Structure 1
Amino acid sequence: MIDLKVGVIGLPGKWSTEALADAVEHATGFRHVIDMAELRADLTTGAVYAGATKISDYDALLVKKISAEYNPNTLDRLELLRWCEHQGVRVMSPALNILRLIDRLSCTVTLRQHQIPMPPTTITESIDAAMNAVEQYGSAIFKPLYSTKARGMVVIDNSMNQQQRRQHIESFKQQNPMMYIQQKLDLSGRDMGLVFLGGEYLGAYARVAQTDSWNTTIHSGGKYQAASLSEDVIEMAFRAQQPFGMDFTTVDVAETATGPVVFEVSAFGGFRGAKDGIGIDAAKRYVDYAINQLKPC
């Protein structure tokens, strides 16, 4: 065992969080799962505590989850991790890098700036512009800027009459003033997650719909399978994750009739998909990577 204090930021009791904590404990003999709701930062002394435990003198914090669901408060929690970094704690992935992925719009703008293929997308606060986007796309997915596993997403299409479309858009806008609108593509009930550790490609799994749901997420009944992808798709996913500098991430990709597209780069990455889809123990691989990063040069 190596003598390091490495905490795990996550959701106590959740499979991915506990799997990561198990891997840390196996490698170091130390285990501490930290719920972000318990953090307290004293900006006068510089100390950061999780409950009564001082964590600002840990060697590292591995971030698996910041909150159960993404929301603007998640960004505030990341500032506490940024303060831990200021105190000399290695945070993986870095707080600012995670911050750029929590907000769907921030992620999308960065991907498009790097010419990564994505579904046609419109960003607007205007009801009329949103109506025009639906008419142009034929079928559109309205996505909250902060969400995971397709939560809060709404499909609005031209099968509705104009009044129905407007009512649905107005209802979505009440909770989402800045509307993120993406053309709904024919994915044949499957999309992929490509796994990267320290920028190195580890493999890919598919999420395959088992119902008539429009999305393939496990939350909606999808199942994980292994995926065999072309070098072109892997290279595209590599370019997609590169600007974000994540220690561990997955890139969500789909193959369409007009070519592969990227949906997003994950702020935290999918341990379950890696394990169930392709038999990769991502938690162990991540901890081995982290320990190697923490070794003195």
Structure 2
Amino acid sequence: MTDTRIAVIGTPGKWSTEVLADHLEQRTGFRCVVDMADVVLELETGILRYRDVVLNELDGVIIKKISETYSPAADDRIRMLGSLESSGVRCFSTPEQVGRLINRLEGTSALAAGKVALPATRITESTEAALDVITLFGKAILKPLYSTKARGMEVLNAEDGTETNTGKLNAFKAEHGLFYLQKFVNLGGQDLGMVFLGGEYLCTYARVGDANAWNTTIHSGGKYQAYDASPELIELGRRAQACFDLSFTTVDIALTDEGPVVFEVSAFGGFSGALKGCGIDAAEKLCDHVLKELENNP
């Protein structure tokens, strides 16, 4: 038991947030789950308050979830936590690095710059250009810049014709603006989640999709299974997560006919896949990692 005071930035009542808070409480005797919707930043003093807790007086915070849904508003919360970090409170992961992954374009641009294998991707505001991309790809996934668990994504097929796809593109543009189009790749019914803690490989699990869904997310009926990743595949995941500096993350990888590709690196990473797929309590390991970091580098 230590007297270290660490809060969890997350969603009160959600399993992944509460299990992390449970482990911290067991080791430190302190428990605080912070809902960013109730945080107040005093700009003139730099103080952040959550109810009766002054966050600036803590030893650290673990950013488990910044928002239930990604949106430009999540960027504002990241900036608030950046103020907390500037006051000397250690953040795991740092707000700057988390912020790079809230917006899908910024995250995948970093992966592309790092020469990480990705599905072919095109970005445009032009409906005409987007139609040309759909024709080029044959089948494309249209993705919002701010979303998780495949929410808001659409599969567009060139065979559906220009009129149909124009209608879908215009409706999407009215809500989201920019077109982020990625070539549809055959997942073979599964994709992989590769887990890293402090930059070190932890495990890999597979998400096996529901036969009726085009994606394999648990949100769409997928199931977790263990997966024995090859050294080459682990190296791909390692290079992807190394484009960022995250305390804990999951790299989403697909095994396609043309070789493995990375879909994204998670801003937060998930505990459920590691536990259900690999039997590893990643929340406990993250807690140990953070306490060790604070002990060695206060």
Scaled by the length of structure 1, what TM-score is found? Answer: 0.99
Q: Distance in 2 between matches of 1:46 and 1:115?
A: 39
Query: Aligned-pair distance for 1:172?
Result: 1.1
- How far apart, in 2, do the equivalents of 1:150 and 1:269 lie? 15
RMSD between superposed Cα atoms in Å: 0.8
**How far does residue 210 in structure 1 lie from its aligned partner after superposition?**
2.2
Residues in 1 aligned to 2:255 and 2:189: alpha-carbon distance in whole angstroms = 11
Q: Within the alignment, does 1:138 sit opposite 2:141 as a pair?
A: no
**Structure 2 counterpart of 1:269, which letter?**
G
SS at match of 1:292: helix
Alignment: residue pair count = 297
Structure 1 partner of 2:188: 188
Partners of 2:47 and 2:120 in 1: how far apart? 46
The equivalent residue for 2:270 is 270
Moved more, 120-129 or 41-50: 41-50
What does residue 221 of structure 1 align with?
221
1:162 corresponds to: 162
Moved over 4 A (4+): none
CA distance in 1, matches of 2:47, 2:121: 43
Q: 1:22 maps to what in 2?
A: 22
Q: CA 1:100–1:16 in 2, change beyond 3 Å: closer, same or farther?
A: same
Superposition deviation, residue 178 in structure 1: 1.1
CA–CA distance in 2 between the matches of 1:126 and 1:296? 51
1:73-152 matches, within 5 Å, as 73-152=73-152
Superposed, 1:166-181 pairs within 5 Å as 166-181=166-181
Could you tell me whether the CA contact under 8 Å between 1:249 and 1:267 is conserved in 2? yes
SS of the equivalent of 1:159 reads helix
Question: Do the aligned residues in 2 keep the contact of 1:211 with 1:222 (CA within 8 Å)?
Answer: no
Q: What is the aligned partner in structure 2 of residue 45 from structure 1?
A: 45
Which position in structure 2 is the counterpart of 1:253? 253
- Counterpart CA distance in 2 for 1:123 and 1:46 is 38
Partners of 1:250 and 1:265 within 8 A in 2: yes
Equivalent residue, structure 1, for 2:294? 294
Hey, what's the Cα distance between the residues in 2 that align with 1:45 and 1:171? Answer: 44
Deviation sequence 1:142-191 (CA, Å, 0-9, x none) = 00000000000011102212100111111111112111000111111100
CA distance in 1 between counterparts of 2:240 and 2:143 reads: 20
How far apart are the structure 2 equivalents of 1:152 and 1:293? 38
**1:19-52 Cα distance to aligned partner (Å, 9 max, x none):** 1100111111110000000111112222110023
2:4 is paired with a residue whose SS is: coil
Q: 3-state DSSP class of the match of 2:69? A: coil
Opposite residue 117 of structure 2, the aligned amino acid is P
Return 5+ residue gaps in structure 1 as ranges: none
The Cα of 1:296 is off from its aligned counterpart by 4.3
Distance in 1 (alpha carbons) for counterparts of 2:284 and 2:102: 24
Aligned equivalent of 1:197: 197
Identity rate of aligned residues, in percent?
48
**Paired residue secondary structure (1:244):** coil
Q: Distance in 2 between matches of 1:121 and 1:113?
A: 13
1: distance between equivalents of 2:173 and 2:47? 41
Residue 235 of structure 1 is matched in structure 2 by 235
- Per-residue CA deviation, residues 257-289 of structure 1 (Å, 9 max, x unaligned), is 111000000000010001101011011000000
Distance 2:250 2:296 in 1: 28
CA distance in structure 2 between the aligned counterparts of 1:158 and 1:39, rounded to whole angstroms: 47
8 Å CA contact retained: 1:190, 1:206: yes
Of 90-99 and 208-217, more deviation after overlay is shown by 208-217
Q: Could you say what secondary structure the match of 2:156 adopts?
A: strand
> What secondary structure sits across from 1:251 in the alignment?
strand
The aligned residue for residue 70 of structure 1 is 70
1:279 — aligned with what?
279
SS state of the match for residue 191, structure 1? strand
TM-superposed CA distance for 1:212, in Å, is 1.5
SS at match of 2:8: strand
Unaligned runs of 5+ in 2: none
Structure 2: which amino acid aligns with 1:75? D
